[in-house]
Amino acid sequence: MELIEQTNIPTIIPIGKNFTPGKGIKIRCMVPQGSSRFTITLYCGQDVKIQTDAALHISFNLKSNNTTLNTKQKDNWGRECTLPGIPFDYGDNFEILILCDQFYYK
């Protein structure tokens, strides 16, 4: 498996057409002190200034203690999926591994 590694928040990861089955992205960061939320977004294009399509958008809301997943196509957001809980807290170091499968992300 090929991995792209990111360690900065905020970070923008343009995946273009290179995030194909068998590849993954590893994100190692620390939850920012005093933040109410932070996001990880995988944009489809190479130009992060355009940001029209998002293959995956993950929003961690620390105040309401939930995680929301979504996608964006042609400037339209899809249906949100909100899950209860966040597996980390302020100041915690964390690692997220996003794997690309043929039909979905793990």
Rounded Cα distance, 47 and 28, in Å: 23
- Residue-wise pLDDT tens digits, 47-62: 666 667 888 899 999 9
- Residue-wise pLDDT tens digits, 53-87: 888 899 999 999 999 999 999 889 999 999 999 88
CATH class held by domain 2-99: mainly beta
Report CA 105 to chain centroid distance, whole Å: 11
Sequence-distant (6+) residues with CB within 8 A of 96 are 26, 27, 40
